[in-house]
Amino acid sequence: MQPMSIPSPDPIWSQFHLGPLTIHTYALCILAGIVAATIITQRRLSARGGHSGVVLDVIIWAVPLGIVGARFYHVFTHVGDYFYPGANLGNIFAIWDGGNALYGSLLGGALGAWIGCRRTGIRFWSFADALAPAMLVAQALGRFGNYFNHELFGLPTTLPWGQEILPTDTMFPDNLPAGTLFHPLFLYEIIWNLIGVGIILVLERRLHLRWGRAFAVYLIWYGLGRSWLEAIRIDPTSDAFLGIPANVWASFVAVALGVILFVVQTRRHPEPELSVYRDGREPTPEAKPDDTTSERADDHEHQAS
C-alpha cells in the first residue's frame, strides 16, 4: 500500500459463509440501499398524506423488476463478456459477482413502480418525487459493493486518494506497472450522490418541487455526474457506439429526459399538488378511537331517550 492511497479490501471480504449459504458483500450493500430507500420514501410519502406501508406495496413490484432490468442492461451492454465461444451462459444471472447497471434498474424499476402505483392509487409522479433523494442514498450505499468487488475505478492518478488495485486482480489493466493508483470512481459517485440529496431537499423547499419535478432534478443531477465518471472509467465498461460508451449515452438521455420532464410538468401543473393519490383513490379515513367512543355514547343516549 502506498502512503495516503485507498487500499482495496482483501478479496476474502467480498463474501463469507453462513452455514451452507454464501453471503456476498455486494448483495448486502444493494440490500442496505433498498432498505434505506424504502424507509426514506415512506417517511416522505407519509408526510404528504400517504398511508403507512404503501411504499412496500409499490416496491414489491419495483425491486424485482429493477433487479432484472439492472442485470440485463449490464449484460447486453457488455456482450463480449458473456457471449463468446465456450462461455458459461449461467454467468448471465450471477448478479452476486457485480454488474448491475443503474440505468437498467431505472427502466425496470419504473415499470414496477408504475404497476404498484396503479394498484395502490398513488400518483406515479408523487411516488417518484418521494423516491428521488432516496434513490441517491441507495445508489451511494450500493457503490460500496463496487469497492468490495474491486470495480468502478478510473484513469491512473498520482493524487493521494488514488485507489490501489492489485496487479493480480483480473480487472487490472495489462499495460500499467504494479503500484499504479486509480481514480476511485466509487467514492466520487458516493460523494456526488450525497451532494445531490442535499440539492434536491433545498430545491424542494424553495421551489416546491412536485408533480415529478424533484425526480427530474434527480435525473439531471445523476446523469451529469455519471457521464463524467464513465468518461474516465477504465475498468470493463459498456460497449461503445461511435466511440462513446453506452452508459455515457444513457447519461445524456437521462439529462435530456430530466430537462423535458421538468419543463413539461411545470407547464402542465402550475397548481400545488394537494394529494399523492389519484382522484377517486384516496383511502377512507380511519375512525379515531375518540370518535368511536363518542359515537357509541351518542347511541346509548339515543336508546335511553
134: closest CA among 122, 145, 142, 146?
A: 142
pLDDT at 83 over 70: no
pTM value is 0.80
Q: How far apart are CA 72 and CA 152, in angstroms?
A: 18
Q: Which residue has the cell 415499470?
A: 111
Assess contact for 224 and 251: CB atoms under 8 A: yes
DSSP H helices, the chain, are 25-46, 54-76, 79-82, 102-120, 124-148, 185-207, 213-231, 246-268, 289-304
What are 147-174's pLDDT values in tens digits? Answer: 888 877 888 888 888 888 888 777 787 7
Q: Report CA-CA distances (Å) from 2 to 7, 10, 98, 157, 186.
A: 8, 15, 27, 13, 19
Q: What is the per-residue pLDDT for 84? A: 62
Q: Which of 2-11, 158-167, 172-181, 185-194 has the highest mean pLDDT?
A: 185-194
98 against 34, higher pLDDT:
34
- pLDDT 10s digits, 263-292: 999 999 888 888 888 877 677 665 444 444
Roughly how many angstroms between the first and final C-alpha of the chain, as a whole number?
88
